[in-house]
Structure 1
């Protein structure tokens, strides 16, 4: 095995339909510049590549407590452009982002979590179907803001709990207010600053304790601006989009996030340059992820809290977004998980209780059945499954 080569994002062989989507992967989203290049003024027209154009109840949940929120919470190739063309490209992107206000697709999140064989539940999640009011005054190009996230803690529950309680609050405070020259730059800067600030504040709190906290957490967050997904990820939790393929009439699993493992070439090089090492696939032989919130004892060895930020445009062929920790993906491939959820959504025998709609009942059942199945398949980790329904 070549430890100095990038590993594929999906360990299992994907069906032909998935392969086809992967060959068009450059149309799905585009990596931002490397970690060291956080200057938003450079290459701004290449921040993202758009895809072809084609609510109620919110919870912030974590093992220790339930937090109540106000009811209103509810690669085509990169284009090589000269300096003179950049402004025109940015303008095109802006128009794409703010189009079709009247066709914004409603979103609603559902969740299931299982402790599994672990002694405690170290995962956390956040479902905010609508935080538009909290982010006001908004730029004129934006009419709807939603936020969904999963956090997979390690070494304790404090980092994941802290991220679940504070990351979205920091995001709301840093969200671009009023008209801005470029929504793309502003959203990217907002996400980068939010992750940096959240990590710094947690590390301050952790280092002030006696003994110092050693907790850490992954973070996979989906910020939805109108019909555009912005995915910010640290670690090995994942975000997957279920999209219907009209050509073969099948549902495909599109990976929206990039995992960060110390065996990946770029991650390993950064760790080694910082004076660390990778042994048995782990940082210093201990930590399984190369980016995280917390993990103060590893920060000087190249573990960072700078997320990969990607963008994906929703279409009318999209069915749902799946966010889950690696406890699910240790026993399910993304394709298996998407097909499992679809089989539940197509099950007309699922009973409805109380005042819930048939759709609500099926999505809740899909979350619970998938989490249960992961435990039954032998996932020894905590399992958290968040499914965001895209109402068509």
Structure 2
């Protein structure tokens, strides 16, 4: 049977939810792939003032993606930086913590259990079992504080996953990304990439890979992995003389912080199974068109997946697909005036390329600062782009 089925599995796991801040819909579909390796988390109330959404695209197996869907948001909550209001630091530490947890004896047993159980299900059923609900957000049932330490015979999983996470607190949106899943915001109908696709040929990724002793062949790390950052993939993280962020492949996420305003329509988080078929602007335009006749957000997501599905196996449109659509309820609570320029800054993330979404031109508000590292234009889908100023007519 190979990596593709003789006919696609088009059954979808879909879900809708809302609270006082947001409403969301999501959908996932196995498609032509022989196995479903995507996972997701949608938690409207991570705490009383915070919502969490995440897409995890697995490769080489599904267990790491499922592990992250179950535990990553819990680790965001547990870090002391979160209690101090520093969500960016807490989510970065949570990404690294996934690798640490999977190396331990408890993680080893958990991965084995996840793989065991998940092998009995496929497609829609997996999504039903392993998409965390709101009750899983702030529980303390999974306390890893007394983990026994690394398993002597288990360096960690060779499979891995991307992680694209969006956390909303009041008027602030924090996006963390490792891999090539993507988060896009629609501001007055214009698409802006809030994450960068981490491909090995990017200069900053290539430099780290080579310094760590790896190589790039045919656009793949050591000739095999087509991502430069991921959770899991421990075979690329075995240099004991380097910190986690400098390994051949790292889980170190880019952190992008954006101030929201009433010009913002929605955000989309999706795996590359969607982005391989539609550009950021194409997807934003398609969603706006669908919302004219469909108010159920999960149904809009389903239409996107159906549009992306290839008619035959092979090429684009044959991957697993997962998409989360999050609408902001108006007015957005804001600590800043409407005229304030949204922050897209972080010490970890260089200022973005000059172009919004997938366009090649930019307004002055989109220009990177003089001290920022120059990134590829977002038409190359390897750059995040800074949203125009709230209240701007352009």
Q: TM-score range by the shorter chain?
A: 0.5 to 0.7
Task: Give the one of 367, 372, 376 matched to 2:301.
Answer: 367
Partner of 2:89: 189
For residues 211 and 299 of structure 1, what CA distance do their matches in structure 2 show?
9
Q: Which segment drifts farther, 195-204 or 271-280?
A: 195-204
Mapping 1:1-392, distance limit 5 Å? 106-133=21-48, 144-174=49-79, 176=81, 180=84, 183=85, 186-204=86-104, 205-206=107-108, 208=151, 213-244=157-188, 251-300=189-238, 302-347=248-293, 350=294, 359=295, 361=296, 363-376=297-310, 378-392=316-330
**Structure 2 CA distance for partners of 1:211 and 1:229, relative to 1, 3 Å:** closer
Unaligned segments of structure 1, at least 5 residues: 1-65, 75-104, 134-143, 245-250, 351-358
For residues 222 and 284 of structure 1, what CA distance do their matches in structure 2 show?
30
**Structure 2 CA distance for partners of 1:145 and 1:302, relative to 1, 3 Å:** same
The alpha carbon displacement at 1:203 in A equals: 3.2
The number of equivalent residue pairs is: 260
For residues 375 and 254 of structure 1, what CA distance do their matches in structure 2 show?
24
For residues 158 and 171 of structure 2, what CA distance do their matches in structure 1 show?
38
CA contact (8 A) 1:319 1:391 kept: no
Q: Cα deviation per residue 1:65-94 (whole Å; 9 max; x = unaligned)?
A: x9xxxx9x96xxxxxxxxxxxxxxxxxxxx
For residues 176 and 270 of structure 1, what CA distance do their matches in structure 2 show?
27
For residues 202 and 233 of structure 1, what CA distance do their matches in structure 2 show?
19
- TM-score normalised according to structure 1 size: 0.62
Q: Cα deviation per residue 1:134-189 (whole Å; 9 max; x = unaligned)?
A: xxxxxxxxxx11100000000000100000000001111115466x4xx4xx2222
For residues 59 and 31 of structure 2, what CA distance do their matches in structure 1 show?
15
For residues 284 and 210 of structure 2, what CA distance do their matches in structure 1 show?
37
CA contact (8 A) 1:344 1:365 kept: no
- TM-score normalised according to structure 2 size: 0.62
**Structure 2 CA distance for partners of 1:211 and 1:273, relative to 1, 3 Å:** closer
CA contact (8 A) 2:38 2:65 kept: yes
**Structure 2 CA distance for partners of 1:324 and 1:311, relative to 1, 3 Å:** same
For residues 132 and 158 of structure 1, what CA distance do their matches in structure 2 show?
27
State the secondary structure of the residue aligned to 1:189.
helix
The alpha carbon displacement at 1:384 in A equals: 0.4
Q: Cα deviation per residue 1:220-246 (whole Å; 9 max; x = unaligned)?
A: 0001111100000000000000111xx
For residues 167 and 185 of structure 2, what CA distance do their matches in structure 1 show?
14
Partner of 1:20: none
For residues 266 and 212 of structure 1, what CA distance do their matches in structure 2 show?
26
**Structure 2 CA distance for partners of 1:346 and 1:309, relative to 1, 3 Å:** same
State the secondary structure of the residue aligned to 1:164.
helix
The alpha carbon displacement at 1:199 in A equals: 1.8
For residues 302 and 209 of structure 2, what CA distance do their matches in structure 1 show?
38
**Structure 2 CA distance for partners of 1:234 and 1:190, relative to 1, 3 Å:** same
**Structure 2 CA distance for partners of 1:175 and 1:376, relative to 1, 3 Å:** farther
CA contact (8 A) 2:82 2:90 kept: no
CA contact (8 A) 1:116 1:375 kept: yes
CA contact (8 A) 1:203 1:294 kept: no
State the secondary structure of the residue aligned to 2:40.
strand
CA contact (8 A) 2:27 2:302 kept: yes
Unaligned segments of structure 2, at least 5 residues: 1-12, 109-149, 239-246, 331-394
CA contact (8 A) 2:175 2:255 kept: yes
